[in-house]
Copies of this chain bind each other. A is one copy, B any other.
Amino acid sequence: MTGHVPPPLRPPEARTTLPLAPTGEPPQLRADAARNRTRLLDAASRLLTECGAANLTMESVAAAAGVGKGTVFRRFGDRAGLLLALLDHREEQLQAAFLSGPPPLGPGAPAAERLHAFGPAVLRHERNQHPLILASRTDPLRNYTVPAHHLRLSHITMLLRRADVAGDPELLAHTLLGSIDTALVHHLTEERGIPLERLEEGWHHLVTRLGATR
- On A, residues with C-beta under 8 Å from B are 134, 137-138, 140-141, 143-145, 166-168, 170-172, 174-175, 178-179, 181-184, 186-188, 191, 194, 198-199, 201-202, 205-206, 209-211
Checking B141, B178, B186, B187 against A134 with a beta-carbon cut-off of 8 angstroms, the contacting residue is B141
Q: State how many angstroms separate the Cβ of A136 from the closest Cβ of chain B.
A: 9
Checking B141, B143, B209 against A211 with a beta-carbon cut-off of 8 angstroms, the contacting residue is B209
Interface residues of A: mostly helix, strand, loop or mixed? Answer: helix
Cβ A179 vs Cβ B168 within 8 A: no
Cβ B175 vs Cβ A206 within 8 A: yes
Checking B175, B182, B191 against A144 with a beta-carbon cut-off of 8 angstroms, the contacting residue is B191
Q: State how many angstroms separate the Cβ of A52 from the closest Cβ of chain B.
A: 16
Residues of B within 8 A of A167 (CB): 202, 205-206, 209
Q: How many copies does the complex hold?
A: 2
12 contacts between A and B (CB under 8 A): A134-B140, A134-B141, A141-B183, A144-B183, A166-B205, A168-B198, A168-B201, A170-B194, A174-B179, A174-B184, A175-B179, A209-B211
Docked CA distance A209–B171 (Å): 14
Docked CA distance A211–B211 (Å): 12
Cβ B209 vs Cβ A140 within 8 A: no
Cβ B134 vs Cβ A168 within 8 A: no
